Structure 1
Amino acid sequence: MNTGHRHHVTDPKDRVPLDQKIAYGLGMATPIAFGNALAQLTNLIFNIGLGINPILLGIAQMLPRFWDAISDPLAGYLSDNTRTRWGRRRPYVLFGGLATGVCFGAIWHVSPTLGPWGTLLFYLGTTLLFYTAVTVYTVPLQALGFEMTRDYHERTRLFAFGSFIGNVFAILTPWMYWMAKREAVFPDEITGMKFVGSGVGILIMGMAVFCGMRCKERYYAELERQPHLKFWESLKAVMQSRTFLRLLACIFLVTAGYSFVNGFANYIIIYYVFAGEKSAASTVMGINGTAWAIAALVAVFPMAWWSRRHGKPSTIRLAVILMMAGNLLKVVCYNPALPMLTLIPTVLISAGMLMLYTMGPAMVADVCNEDELVNGVRREGCFSSMYSWWLKFAGSSALLVAGALLVATRFNHAVAVQTGFTLFWLRTYEIALPTLLCAGGLVFMIRYPLTEDRAYENKRLLDERRQAAENPTGDETP
Structure 2
Amino acid sequence: MPADKDRKPGDRLGNKELLGFAVGGLPLNLGVESLKQLAYPVYNIILGVNPAAIGLILMIARLIDAFLDPLIGWLSDNSRSRWGRRRPYVALGSVLCGLTFPLVWFVPADTTETHAIAYFAATAFLYYLAVSVYQVSYMTLGMELTPDYAERTRVMASRTVFGATSGLILAWVFRIAQADMFSDPLTGMRVVGMVLGGIFIATGVPAALASRERYHKLAETQEKQPVLRSLTGAFRYSSFRILMVLTLVIVFCTQSVNALGVYVTTYYVYGGDIKAAATMTAWYGTVTLFATWAALPILTWAARRWGKTRALAVTMAVGCLGAILKWFLFQPEFPYAQLVVACFVAPANAGFWVLVNAMKADMCDWDELKTGLRREGMFAAVSAWLQKLAAAMTFSFAGFVLVCTGFDQAKGGAQASDTLLHIRIVFAFVPAAAYILGIAMLRWYPLSPTVMTEVRAELEAKRAAV
Q: Could you say whether these structures have the same fold, taking a TM-score greater than 0.5 normalized by the shorter chain as the test? A: yes
* Identity of matched residues, %: 31
Q: Deviations over 1:115-144 (max 9, x none)?
A: 111111111111111111111111011111
Provide the aligned C-alpha RMSD in A.
1.5
Equivalent of 2:320, from 300, 304, 324?
Answer: 324
Q: Structure 2: how far apart are the matches of 1:33 and 1:378? A: 28
Measure the CA separation in 1 of the matches of 2:56 and 2:162. 32
Letter in 1 for 2:248: F
Task: Report deviation, 1:6.
Answer: 5.9
Alpha-carbon distance between aligned partners in 2 of 1:335 and 1:65, rounded to the nearest angstrom:
33
* Contact 2:136–2:384, Cα closer than 8 Å, also in 1: yes
The one-character-per-residue Cα deviations of 1:97-129 (angstroms, maximum 9, x if unpaired) are: 100111111111111233111111111111111
Partner Cα separation in structure 2 for residue 456 and residue 31 of structure 1: 30
**1:425 and 1:133, CA in 2 relative to 1: closer, same or farther beyond 3 A?**
same
| 3-state SS in 2 of match to 1:260 | helix
Q: Which moved more, 1:142-151 or 1:112-121?
A: 112-121
1:355 equivalent to 2:351? Answer yes
Query: Aligned match of 1:459 in 456, 459, 465?
Result: 456
Q: CA deviation at 1:377?
A: 0.4
Asked if the contact 1:37–1:174 (Cα under 8 Å) also holds between the matched residues in 2, the reply is: no
Look up the SS of the partner of 1:83 in the other structure.
coil
Give unmatched runs, 5+ long, in structure 2. Answer: none
Q: Which whole-Å CA distance do the structure 2 matches of 1:149 and 1:337 have between them?
A: 50
- 2:68 paired with 1:59: no
Superposed displacement of residue 237, structure 1 = 0.7
Establish whether residue 213 from structure 1 lines up as the match of residue 218 from structure 2.
no
> Secondary structure of the equivalent of 1:112?
coil
CA offset at residue 290 of structure 1? 0.6
Q: How does 1:277-316 map to 2 (within 5 A)?
A: 277-316=273-312
Alpha-carbon deviations, 1:295-331, whole Å to 9, x = none? 1111111101111111101121112111110011112
Which residue, out of 233, 252, 257, partners 1:256? 252
Conserved in 2, the CA contact under 8 Å of 1:34 and 1:173? no
- Report what 1:473 is aligned to: none
- Corresponding residue of 2:114: 117
Structure 1: stretches of 5+ with no match in the other structure: 471-478
1:355-389 Cα distance to aligned partner (Å, 9 max, x none)? 00111111000000001101110100000001111
User: How far is the alpha carbon of 1:168 from its aligned partner?
Assistant: 3.0
Q: How does 1:45-444 map to 2 (within 5 A)?
A: 45-182=42-179, 184-417=180-413, 418-444=415-441
Deviations 1:192-213 (A, max 9, x none): 1100011010111111121111
One-letter amino acid of the counterpart of residue 416, structure 1: G
The answer to whether the 8 A contact 2:37-2:170 is kept is: no
SS at match of 2:463: helix
Matched residue type, 1:235: L
TM-superposed CA distance for 1:35, in Å, is 2.7
Amino acid at match of 2:253: G
> How many residue pairs are counted as aligned between the two chains?
464
Equivalent pair of 1:253/1:437 in contact (CA under 8 Å)? yes
Q: CA–CA distance in 2 between the matches of 1:381 and 1:172?
A: 29
Equivalent residues of 1:251, 1:356 under 8 A apart: no
What is the distance in 1 between the residues matched to 2:262 and 2:235?
36
The amino acid that maps onto 1:158 is V
- Label 1:289 to 1:407 Cα distance change in 2 as closer, same or farther (>3 A): same
TM-score, structure 2 normalization: 0.97
Is the alpha carbon distance of 1:16 and 1:440 closer, same or farther for their aligned partners in structure 2, counting shifts above 3 Å?
Answer: same
CA distance in 1, matches of 2:59, 2:458: 43
